[in-house]
Structure 1
Amino acid sequence: MLILFSIIISLFVLILSVSFINHQLQLSKEKELFVPTGQLLEINGHQIHVYTEGKGEETLVFMSGGGTSSPVLDFKSLYSLLSDKYKIVVVEKAGYGFSEVTDTNRDIDTILTETKEALFKSGVKGPFILFPHSMSGIEALKWAQDYPDEIKAIIGLDMAVPAAYEELDINMFLVRLGALAANTGLTRWVPNLSENDAIKYGNLTDKEKKLYKAIFYRRTLTNDMINEINNIKANAQKVKQGGMPNIPILLFSSNGVGTGFDNKTWNGIQNDFISKACNGQLVNLDSSHYVHSIDYEQIAEESKKFIASLKYSINF
């Protein structure tokens, strides 16, 4: 029995070793693809990547969901339909996209401070219309609570709200197991794992798809992403205590697939949240969690109408 166990352990170590060596070789080959498309700025002791595109009176800030490997490419299908009218900004948080991987605290105040400083250093001025996806909905709400003069509105892309994290069960063992698989290159042996919704359904070019895959193998369950997950329940509770911000909110809600909830529960959470907003709208979509990679044309059109209504209301 002991011999069998030793053989199994030895095989496991051998597989991990071969996978890790192959992973390092592939990372070296892919290095030439890993070139930032925006600015790298020194923020809180590490490099943060900020991408901008387009011109316009309104500035739209896209904020990625937890664990999204390449926010700049993930949002591209949507913001490419908006950059002819508005200024587009994507801040890639520490451990995401072209930003540096760190092992810093990921409490909500630190994350928000870094995002704000990155915008300031890049020369982007508010007020902003925030486009948060998933977990970053918590950051967007905190921003609107603490700095209401800086935020004109929130357009949520299946964004999470505090109530979602009261019911969500997070298995940190599986999260860390996933990180081990990513760091040792085991993810490279799973067919189509890097074929995310932006690649499958979005309008990325072949070159952008290749780049996204290269980033995926560098930015999957990084230290920063894991630390965010570790902090998310406490962060959500802090935002809950801050109450509903007094700004217009438009939510695009998915069918629940990919959220950890069934359709009825997820839409119930979204409906309950928006019902408490002073100026809130909800649009239900029959697509999975990364709605901006699937229903990007509808979201773009609805967002333009919503933004136009904000301007009309102010002028009125």
Structure 2
Amino acid sequence: MLIIFTGIISIFVLILSVSFINHKIQLSKEEELFVPTGQLVEVNGHQMHVYTEGNGEETLVFMSGGGTSSPVLDFKSLYSLLSDKYRIVVIEKAGYGFSEVTDTDRDIDTILSETREALLKSGVEGPYILFPHSMSGIEALNWAQVYPDEIKAIIGLDMAVPAAYENFDINMSLVRLGAFAANTGLTRWITNLSESDAIKYGTLTDEEKELYKAIFYRRTSTKDMINEIKNIKANAQKVKEAGTPSVPILLFSSNGQETGFDEKRWIEIQNNFSNKNDNARLIELDSSHYIHNIEYGRIAEESKEFIESLNR
């Protein structure tokens, strides 16, 4: 029995070793692809990546959901339909995209402080119209609560609201297992893992798809992403206690797929939130969670109409 157990352990160690070595070799080969498409600025002792496009009067700030490897490419199908009229900004937080992986705190005050400083150092001034996806909905609401003069409106892309995290069970063991798989290169052996919705349904070019995959293998379950998950319940509670901000809000909601909730509960959470704000409106889409990669045409048109209505 001991011999069998030892043999199994030896095989497991061998597989991990081969996987890790292959991972490092592939990372080296992919290095030439990993070139920032925007501007790197130093914030809180680390580098953050800020991408800008377009020169319109309104500034649209895109904020990625938790764990999205490449925010710049993830949002491209949508913002490419808006950059002819508006100034587009994509913030890549610590541990995302071309931004540096760090050990900094991921409490909501630190995240907001870093985001605002990155914009300031990039020369991007407000007021802003925020486009948060998923988990970053909590950050967008906090921003509007703390600095209301900086936020003109929020356009939520299936964004999370505080109620979504009240009874949500977060399996940190599974989260850490995902980080282990990413760091040892085991994720490379499951090829469809790198096939994000942006790749499958969006308008990325072949070169951008390859870049997305190269970023995926560098920015999956990073330390910052894991620390965000650890802090999300406390962050959401803080936002809940501060109340609903009074800024105009347009919510696009998915059918609940990939959110961890069934369709009825997810729509209920979105509806309950929008009903508390006289300035909020909800548009339901029959799409999975990354709605901006699937329904980007409709979202772009509805967003334009909403933005123009703000100035009437």
The answer to whether the superposition gives a TM-score over 0.5 is yes
Q: Displacement, 1:278?
A: 2.2
CA distance in 2, matches of 1:57, 1:71: 23
SS in 1 for 2:255: coil
Partner residue in 1 for 2:83: 83
CA distance in 1, matches of 2:204, 2:164: 31
Partner residue in 2 for 1:101: 101
Partner residue in 1 for 2:235: 235
1:183 aligns with 2:183: yes
Equivalent positions of 1:162-311 (< 5 A) are 162-311=162-311
SS in 2 for 1:257: coil
Unaligned stretches of 5+ residues in structure 1: none
CA distance in 2, matches of 1:189, 1:119: 38
Q: Displacement, 1:191?
A: 2.4
Query: How many aligned positions are there?
Result: 312
SS in 1 for 2:61: strand
SS in 2 for 1:42: strand
CA distance in 2, matches of 1:249, 1:263: 21
Give CA deviations for 1:243-265 in whole Å, capped at 9, x if unaligned. 00011000000000010000000
CA distance in 2, matches of 1:253, 1:3: 55
Q: Displacement, 1:6?
A: 1.4
Give CA deviations for 1:213-253 in whole Å, capped at 9, x if unaligned. 00000000000000000000000000000100011000000
Alpha-carbon contact 1:247-1:278 (below 8 Å) kept: no
CA distance in 1, matches of 2:137, 2:302: 19
Partner residue in 1 for 2:4: 4
CA distance in 1, matches of 2:103, 2:3: 39
Q: Displacement, 1:136?
A: 0.2
Equivalent positions of 1:42-57 (< 5 A) are 42-57=42-57
1:152 aligns with 2:152: yes
Alpha-carbon contact 1:129-1:154 (below 8 Å) kept: yes
Q: Which amino acid aligns with 1:94?
A: A
Partner residue in 1 for 2:119: 119
CA distance in 1, matches of 2:255, 2:300: 19
Alpha-carbon contact 1:60-1:128 (below 8 Å) kept: yes
SS in 2 for 1:193: helix
Q: Displacement, 1:200?
A: 0.4
Give CA deviations for 1:169-213 in whole Å, capped at 9, x if unaligned. 110000000000000000000021100100000000000000000
CA distance in 1, matches of 2:236, 2:5: 44
CA distance in 2, matches of 1:224, 1:9: 31
SS in 1 for 2:289: coil
CA distance in 2, matches of 1:304, 1:210: 30
Partner residue in 1 for 2:59: 59
Unaligned stretches of 5+ residues in structure 2: none
CA distance in 1, matches of 2:311, 2:204: 31
TM-score normalised by structure 2 residue count: 0.99
